[in-house]
Structure 1
Amino acid sequence: MEPPSTQGHTVAGHAESGNENIDTTRPEGRDSAKRRRLKSYAETSSSSTTVEVLQRLQEKSEKTELKQDQQMVEILSRKDEKIKIQRDLFNLQKKHMKMSVKQHKKENEIREKQTEAQLMSAESSIMSIDIEKVPPYLKNYYLGMQRQIMERRGFSSPLNNGD
């Protein structure tokens, strides 16, 4: 006897064609397809959002680093300028000190010359006194002063020879 024929029977709505590798699963339903699409979209969206956030963070980091570099350059430039100004100030103070010392020397020279001029004026008036017309009690004083003046000026006193 022949085995019964199975050609007319269907499995899960498919006609059997003698091939054993036939897909026996149901087609995807509307709701499950929707869920799969949303899940795929969420994963894609989530990963692209993550990439965007990371890119923005990277850009922000680069901008911050660039800004810090610019600020550092500006700080160094200002420090160089400050050093130059301090050097110029030091040189001006040094120049001022030299000029001040020079001025003090000149003032001292002027004072010495004024003192010398006053001394010469006083000596001149003492030397020009006529001893014969001076009262006798002042005669010795003026003779002594004239003698000191002559010695200080490097002259030997003619008055000493006359004593």
Structure 2
Amino acid sequence: MTQLDGTDRAILNALQENGRLTNAELAAGVNLSPSACLRRVRLLEESGLIARTVALLDPRLAGVPGTAYVSVTLDSQGRKALDTFEQAVRHVPEITECYLLAGQHDYLLRVVYHDSRDLERIHTEILTPLPGVVRVQSTLTLRTVKRTTKLPI
């Protein structure tokens, strides 16, 4: 989907704020009939722009109040080394985000943990043994100032 009109943007913004809106509530909020609204939402889903609908959990209540950003350097930047590392990362639930970087480090990981003992376990038993890892550097967060999944549409 290459062209979004104002109504599409309104639908996307409303759903990013509250993915549990009923179709009737959404339609009323964007000034469409329910059938027209549902048709547009389905087109946005079919286009892939709406990738999926999820529930966002409170990390503290979920028992993982700690967040660390971990820079990882590999011993090789060849395609096979990157693929092997990325495949291994996909299976680690404590790693909630992984980004391939251009710059000093190869990857940036977002890691969640229960407490300092758990972070140490993750570091020694999970992160450093990942394929090709030669350096792991962690930065711990003190407080979340802003956290959103909402994209500026």
Please indicate, yes or no, whether the TM-score normalized by the shorter chain is above 0.5.
Answer: no
Q: TM-score, normalized by length of structure 2?
A: 0.18
TM-score (norm 1): 0.17
Q: Which structure would you say has the larger Rg?
A: 1
More helix by share: 1
Which has more strand, going by share of residues? 2
The answer to which structure, 1 or 2, has the higher relative contact order (CA under 8 A, 6+ apart) is 2
